[in-house]
């Protein structure tokens, strides 16, 4: 029954997505890459949320919440504030310039080489980190939900490969052959399903604890586990409170304001007003994110009495425990939609970056719109196949897949964010400054996290054991304190690279002041309530932290 409802829901979404894209010119860059610049607020918000929310968050963050409690909500609630900044500050500039990709701005502000380097960094991050991890985490969750090894009579490894290729092929069809509009429409439908399905888990979980009463269950949960409802993380937490004021906001601003896979939805807005309304709607919903990706982990801790040895099992075990059998098929279908969304959104953005920033620039300068789209599709197919081969190979990745993903992304996120911010806030910093900042950012962060950190942690643990410390919890704390948190490292490198760029700008400024052109492709009249809405979201986020502190 579960497989039937899964297939039915998936085919329904595919049919609606196909129907909605019939009138879009998929042979033009704007039509294929930006949905003909026709996206409205609801579609933008739904697509943003589904692109962001996938199994590495639903399973990973709930696993962290199982261990640490509500403090990991920082990844969700602070995202709302970053979305506000994007809507008010960045989006008007993007739409004014008629951008299809973020690297296009870097070409205008700096030079073509800077644009190409940035596109290459985005693409390498997608194919080596993001796409394979989304495929792998999705395959693991889906295989476990339907118990596919037993159902198909195959090994866990074979089941993993089947799921990876199933998700990859279906996601590729959406992203490569349907363009952004097909991705955005399917995301919107899946977003509604995921919100409903995601909220059902804490609802039934609290009802289980409260013996039928949700409010009684919530009261009992908070009274029994007060330590899980402290939003202030200490220095050994996965999100120490101090990181909120350093690298956390930088990561959030990069992700929601400059990451091509995310911001491409807002770039496809029919006008600035719709784009800002869509972002603000996503921001409001993001504030509710902890109900889906944090609270279930705490509920699981209470129900299983902290007995689970693998925290990432908390969410799927809770689903199996509290969700009525008749709803399992529906929930599996919307979860599959979330997995699919993150994959096809990143893939569609990769196709866009290659077609617009690399193929047109270096391979065929005289390419027509149709040729650019065709080249992008061909590249997308190859990229998807490569990601599908890489995904099963990360089965032995470090524990805490979500945290690992965030740490590795720092190799390219902060360098790119640095040159974009300096590019918008200054007018005379030259292209050579951007190239130096990108190079230093990538090299120094990589050395810090993958050379210095392992050596210092190993040395600290060795000293601890020599001193007779053998307690696992004590050793874990020593490991966490042996080296600065990666979010602090990001902030340090961000400030350093900004200063380097400003110094170069003073010593060797551009000969002419940079002035952003206005392409008039869309109306950039702002939404009249954008500032008030942004303030409201910010107040809500601060209030949540104050309440749980």
For 465-483, the DSSP string reads HHTT---HHHHHHHHHHSS
Task: Give residue 31's pLDDT band: very low, low, confident or very high (50, 70, 90).
Answer: very low
Judge contact between 548 and 230, C-beta under 8 A: yes
Sign of the alpha-carbon dihedral angle for 318, 321, 323, 326:
positive
Cα first-last separation, the chain = 45
Q: Give me the percent of the chain exceeding a pLDDT of 70.
A: 85
CA-nearest of 297, 370, 369, 323 to 59 is 297
Q: Report H helices in 323-368.
A: 325-352
pLDDT tens per residue across span 45-101: 877 877 777 777 787 788 889 989 999 899 889 999 999 999 999 999 888 887 777
Per-residue pLDDT, 70? 92
Inter-CA distances, 33 with 21, 373, 480, 497, Å: 13, 8, 43, 32
**CA–CA separation, 149 vs 162, rounded Å?**
10
Share of the chain above pLDDT 90, in %: 30
**Nearest-5° Cα angle at 286, 403 to 270:** 115
In terms of Cβ atoms closer than 10 Å to its own Cβ (0-12, 13-18, 19+), residue 219 is: middle
Q: How far is CA 541 from the centre of its chain?
A: 19
| Residues near 134 by beta carbon (within 8 Å), at least 6 away in sequence | 54, 55, 56, 339, 342, 343, 346
Least confident of 186-195, 310-319, 486-495, 529-538: 186-195
Rounded to whole angstroms, how far apart are CA atoms 110 and 99? 15
Which residues are CB-neighbours of 475 under 8 A, at least 6 positions away?
461, 464, 465, 469
Check: CB of residue 368 under 8 Å from CB of residue 171. Answer: no
| pLDDT tens string 401-452 | 566 677 788 888 889 999 999 998 999 999 999 999 999 999 999 999 989 9
Reported as a pLDDT band with limits 50, 70 and 90, residue 258 is confident
CA 351/CA 128 separation, integer angstroms:
15
pLDDT in tens, 119-171: 888 888 877 777 887 888 778 777 766 777 877 888 878 888 888 888 888 77
Average pLDDT, the chain: 82
The answer to whether 13 and 189 are in contact (CB under 8 A) is yes
- Tell me the two tokens of residue 496: 């350093």
pLDDT value at 355 more than 60: yes
Look at the alpha carbons of 188, 194, 197, 200 in this order and tell me if their dihedral is positive or negative. Answer: negative
Phi, psi of 395 (to 5 degrees): -60, -25
Question: How far apart are the C-alpha atoms of 329 and 348, rounded to whole Å?
Answer: 28
Confidence grade of residue 33 (pLDDT, cut at 50, 70, 90):
very low
The residue-averaged pLDDT of 496-516 equals: 93
Nearest to 231 by CA among 221, 220, 219, 243: 243
Q: How many CB atoms lie within 10 A of CB 296?
A: 27
Q: pLDDT class for 34, splitting at 50, 70, 90?
A: very low
C-alpha to C-alpha distance for 90 and 272, rounded to whole angstroms: 11
Closest alpha carbon to 408 in 97, 128, 14: 128
Phi, psi of 14 (to 5 degrees): -60, -45
The per-residue pLDDT for 63 is 86
272-276, 426-430, 521-525: lowest mean pLDDT where? Answer: 521-525
What's the token pair of residue 144? 């476990």
For residue 220, what pLDDT band results from cuts at 50, 70 and 90?
A: very high
Q: Calculate the alpha carbon distances from 175 to 169, 347, 357, 490, 544 in Å.
A: 10, 6, 18, 32, 37
The architecture in CATH of the region 2-24+33-409+520-548 reads Up-down Bundle (1.20)
Mean pLDDT of 298-312: 87
Q: Give residue 536's Cα distance to chain centre.
A: 24
For residue 35, is pLDDT > 50?
A: no
Q: And the tokens for 459? A: 């040395």
pLDDT score of 30 = 47
| Rounded distance between C-alpha atoms, residue 175 and residue 377, angstroms | 9
Which two structure tokens, joined as six digits, stand for 325?
A: 């059998």
- Locate 296 and state its tokens: 């279930």
Question: How far, in whole angstroms, is CA 331 from its chain's centroid?
Answer: 21
Q: Between the CA of residue 23 and those of 120, 124, 266, 376, what are the distances in Å?
A: 32, 33, 20, 21
| Mean pLDDT within 13-33 | 53
CB of 72 closer than 8 Å to CB of 238: yes
Angle at 81 between CA 180 and CA 124, to 5 degrees: 45
Q: Where are the domains of the chain?
A: 2-24+33-409+520-548
Mean pLDDT over residues 205-234, rounded? 92
Residues with Cβ < 8 Å from 158, sequence gap 6 or more? 149, 152
CA distances from 154 to 149, 158, 162, 185, 329 (A): 5, 6, 10, 35, 21
């Amino acid at each position: 029954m579960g497989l039937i409802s899964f297939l039915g829901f998936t085919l329904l979404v595919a049919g609606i997505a196909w129907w909605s894209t019939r009138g879009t010119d998929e042979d033009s860059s704007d039509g294929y890459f930006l949905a003909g610049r026709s996206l409205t607020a609801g579609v933008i918000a739904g697509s943003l949320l589904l692109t962001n929310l996938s199994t590495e968050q639903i399973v990973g963050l709930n696993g962290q919440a199982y261990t640490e409690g509500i403090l990991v909500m920082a990844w969700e609630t602070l995202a709302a504030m970053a979305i506000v900044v994007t809507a008010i500050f960045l989006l008007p500039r993007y739409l004014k310039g008629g951008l299809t990709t973020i690297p296009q701005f870097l070409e205008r502000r700096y030079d073509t080489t800077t644009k190409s380097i940035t596109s290459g960094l985005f693409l390498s991050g997608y194919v080596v980190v993001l796409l394979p991890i989304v495929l792998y985490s999705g395959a693991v969750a889906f295989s476990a939900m339907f118990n596919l090894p037993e159902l198909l009579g195959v090994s866990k490894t074979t089941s993993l490969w089947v799921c990876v290729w199933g998700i990859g092929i279906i996601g590729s069809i959406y992203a490569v052959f349907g363009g952004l509009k097909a991705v955005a429409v399917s995301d919107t439908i899946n977003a509604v399903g995921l919100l409903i399905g995601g909220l059902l888990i804490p609802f039934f979980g609290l009802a289980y604890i409260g013996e039928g009463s949700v409010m009684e269950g919530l009261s009992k949960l908070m009274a029994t586990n007060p330590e899980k409802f402290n939003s202030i993380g200490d220095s050994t937490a996965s999100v120490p409170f101090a990181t909120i004021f350093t690298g956390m906001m930088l990561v959030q601003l990069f992700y929601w304001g400059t990451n091509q896979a995310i911001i491409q939805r807002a770039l496809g807005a029919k006008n600035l007003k719709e784009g800002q309304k869509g972002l603000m709607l996503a921001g409001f919903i993001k504030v509710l994110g902890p109900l889906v990706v944090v609270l279930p982990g705490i509920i699981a801790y209470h129900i299983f009495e902290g007995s689970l040895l693998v925290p990432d099992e908390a969410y799927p075990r809770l689903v199996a425990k509290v969700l009525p059998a008749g709803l399992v098929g529906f929930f599996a279908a919307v979860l599959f939609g979330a997995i699919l969304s993150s994959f096809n959104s990143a893939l569609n953005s990769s196709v866009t970056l290659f077609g617009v920033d690399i193929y047109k620039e270096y391979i065929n300068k005289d390419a027509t719109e149709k040729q650019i789209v065709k080249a992008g599709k061909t590249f997308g197919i190859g990229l998807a196949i490569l990601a599908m081969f890489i995904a099963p190979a990360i089965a032995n990745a470090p524990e805490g897949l979500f945290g690992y993903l965030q740490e590795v992304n720092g190799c390219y996120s902060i360098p790119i964010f640095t040159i974009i911010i300096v590019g918008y806030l200054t007018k005379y910093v030259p292209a050579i400054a951007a190239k130096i900042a990108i190079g230093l950012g990538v090299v120094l962060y990589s050395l810090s996290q993958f050379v210095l950190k392992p050596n210092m942690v190993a040395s600290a643990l060795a000293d601890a054991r020599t001193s007779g410390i053998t307690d696992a919890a004590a050793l874990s704390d020593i490991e966490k304190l042996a080296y600065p948190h990666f979010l602090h490292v990001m902030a340090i490198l961000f400030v350093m690279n900004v200063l380097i760029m400003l110094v170069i700008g003073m010593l060797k400024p551009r000969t002419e002041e940079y002035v952003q052109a206005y392409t008039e492709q869309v109306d950039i009249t702002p939404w009249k309530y954008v500032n008030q809405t942004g303030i409201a979201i910010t107040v809500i986020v601060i209030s949540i932290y104050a309440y749980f502190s």
